[in-house]
Each structure stands twice: as C-alpha cells, then as structure tokens.
Homo-oligomer: A and B are copies of this chain.
C-alpha cells in the first residue's frame, strides 16, 4: 500500500499537480471534464491528503472564537474547560489554527451579548460556546448558522439549534445517577431534600433536568421517603443560613444539590451541628473537595470539564481539518467521586 501523492494522480490524469489541487479544494477554474476525471482517479486510488505536508505549505489560518464564562464569576469552574481548550489549541496550532477567548460574566446576559457581538465582529471561522443564556444563545446560533460558521456547544445544550455538536453531560441521567447512589444508603429513616441554591434569573433548565431525573429514579425505590423541593436565592451566606433553618426542621437524611453549591449546605449543617445527613452535589470545586474529604459531603458528580473543553476544540479541528463526520451528541461520562477516588480524577 504505497502512499499516493497529488503528483501521482496528476500524472495518471495527464494534468498538472496544480489542477488536481484546484479540484481537491473546490477552487473552481477547472473544466467539468478534467474535474470528473480527476475525481474519479482520486476515488480509485483512495487518495488521502498528507495533513502534515499540507500544514507546512498552507498559509490558510483558521480562527476559532471561544465564548465561555470567566473564571472569576464561576468560582473558578470555567478555568477547567479553558485549560482543556488550551491543551487542544497547543496540539493543533501547527495546522494554522488560532483561538481567542471571549469571556463573559456568568450572571449578566448583557455581558454574554456584548462578547458574542465582539466575537462576530472580529471575524471567526468557527466557534465553541457555552450557551448559558437560552434566548441570547439561540439567536447567536441562528446568526452563526446563516454565516455558515460551525458552532460547538459545551456544558449546556440547546436541543433544536443549528449547532454542530454538544459536548457535555446528559443532565437528566446525571440526576438519576445521583438518586441511585443516595438510595443505596437509604435506611428508611428520614426524608429527602432537593435543594437548589441559585441566583435570580439564572438559567435553570440544566438544574431542572437533573432534579427531574433524580425524582423519577427515587420514585421507583421501595419504602420511598417523602421528597421535598426547595429553591433558594443565592445571596449572602448569612441570609442563606437563615432560610435553610426552615427545611431542616423536618427530619432530613438525604440532600441532593443539583449544582455546585453542595459546599454551602455542608457549611450550614456543620455550623448547626447536624451530622449524619448524606449530601450529593456536582463539580469538584475546591470547597466541595474539602467537605468531601472531611466526610461532610458523600458524593460529587464530576463532568470532566477539562475534557469537555479539549473535546470542544478538537471537534472543530476534526470538522475543518480532518473533515471527519461529527456526532451531534458527545456525552461526557457521569463520574462518581468519593473521598477515596478523588485523587485520581481527571478534571
């Protein structure tokens, strides 16, 4: 199986390499006849371009725009996807790929819109975005679609949008996993509290799906406990702690926190000295990790944010450079983290 080069198919077609190159890149200026002849030979010989040689010769640059939250407004969470993206960018920079970040404030949809506009204006060839504001993101995706700019979604999906791919967890299923774990240790005593701590106006569709999955699973366990659902506004810890007094008047033995705020609950419970409550939350923030190690939090669910970032960028590389088919859904694993396996996690 010899390697086939452009010059080989050029000779076989009785034309020059330049002409073959033109049809490969669909740059036109080739007659239908020779075009078809060349295409046929390419197919017969099973030609695949040498990406290394191409990278060396080509001056074409691909600019990737990245629209994600900044680390400051996200308790450092978004530093992980960013790290993974940087790794990917570093691996593929040889192929003429560059990237620039447009970091928005996680709590301000105006910030999202501003950065999105700036990104579009700068002229990008492909983007990966975290569509945390549903309406604003939807209209951005529409725009990108019309401009023929491929778009990868990370962390959150917008189901029927014209995006190339979604990289992230299946939220509903992650809720089910949470329920399964907590139901294992359920002794029949005490009730279950689903506790959502979130900012006003935060996009909560993610959280709602997790909660739904959790409830659906828990409703199938026998001797099922009562399940209470409480949503509280994330303000100061002082206020929060006061608000929490109320739900915990009930005898609660299990708490499900559908986002990264489990540490706040653990803070509260160790404060009021209520021990023996099982807690499960999401995401390996430093504060969550501390409580996990102390035994105040029992399980965390990790979604490999760094991997998600890496895959997000690589998806664009595979689309534009390797020209591979891209899967619409690239689900991340739903990783169960305890105090005993946390030292080996891949963020």
Contact of A331 among B56, B332, B344 (CB under 8 A): B344
Question: A51, A52, A331, A345 — which one has the most chain B CB atoms within 10 A of its CB?
Answer: A52
A50 within 8 A of B: yes
A30 CB to nearest chain B CB (Å): 27
| Interface residue A176 (Cβ < 8 Å from any Cβ of B) | yes
A 316-342 to B, binary, CB cutoff 8 A, 1 in contact else 0: 000000000000000111111011110
**Would B336 and A341 count as touching, CB distance under 8 A?**
yes
Comparing A13-21, A79-87, A107-115, A177-185, the segment that makes contact with chain B is A177-185
A173 at the interface (CB under 8 A from B): yes
Q: Which residues of B contact A43 (CB under 8 A)?
A: none
When A51-B94, A333-B345, A346-B333 are in contact, do A340 and B56 touch as well, CB less than 8 Å? Answer: no
CB distance from A118 to the nearest CB of B (A): 24
Interface residue total, chain A, C-beta cutoff 8 A: 33
Q: Do the beta carbons of A344 and B340 come within 8 Å of each other?
A: no
> Please, which residues of chain B bring their CB within 8 A of the CB of A340?
173, 176-177, 180, 217, 334
- A55 close to chain B: CB less than 8 A: yes
* Interfacial residues of chain A within 178-218, with CB under 8 A of chain B in the complex: 180-181, 184-185, 187, 217
Chain B, Cβ-Cβ closest to A307: B346
Which of chain B's residues has its CB closest to A213's CB? Answer: B340
Q: Report Cα–Cα, A334/B50, bound state, in Å.
A: 38
Instruction: Kindly state whether residue A170 has any CB partner on chain B within 8 Å.
Output: yes
A178 vs B274: C-alpha distance when bound (angstroms): 27
- In the complex, whether A238 has a CB less than 8 A from a CB of chain B is no
What is the CB-to-nearest-CB distance from A204 to chain B, in angstroms, rounded to a whole number? 22
A53 within 8 A of partner (CB):
yes
Closest residue of B by beta carbon distance from A185: B184
A170 to B345, CA, bound (A): 12
In the complex, which residue of chain B has the Cβ closest to the Cβ of A174? B341
Which B residues are in CB contact (< 8 Å) with A51? 94
* Least Cβ–Cβ distance between A179 and chain B, in angstroms: 8
Q: Which chain B positions have C-beta within 8 A of A181?
A: 338
Closest B residue to A182 using CB positions: B184
Identify which of residues 90-115 in chain A touch chain B, using a CB-to-CB cut-off of 8 Å: 94
Report Cα–Cα, A173/B341, bound state, in Å. Answer: 7
Give the nearest-CB partner of A301 in chain B. B341
A170 touches B52 (CB 8 A): no
* Known pairs A173-B340, A177-B341, A336-B336 / 18 extra A-B pairs, C-beta < 8 Å: A50-B56, A50-B94, A52-B94, A173-B341, A173-B343, A177-B338, A177-B340, A184-B184, A184-B298, A185-B185, A332-B344, A333-B335, A333-B344, A333-B345, A333-B346, A335-B335, A335-B341, A336-B341
A-B contact pairs, 26 of them (CB 8 A): A50-B94, A51-B94, A52-B52, A52-B55, A52-B56, A52-B94, A56-B56, A170-B344, A173-B340, A173-B343, A176-B340, A177-B340, A177-B341, A180-B339, A181-B338, A184-B184, A184-B185, A184-B298, A187-B187, A331-B344, A332-B344, A333-B344, A333-B345, A333-B346, A334-B341, A334-B344
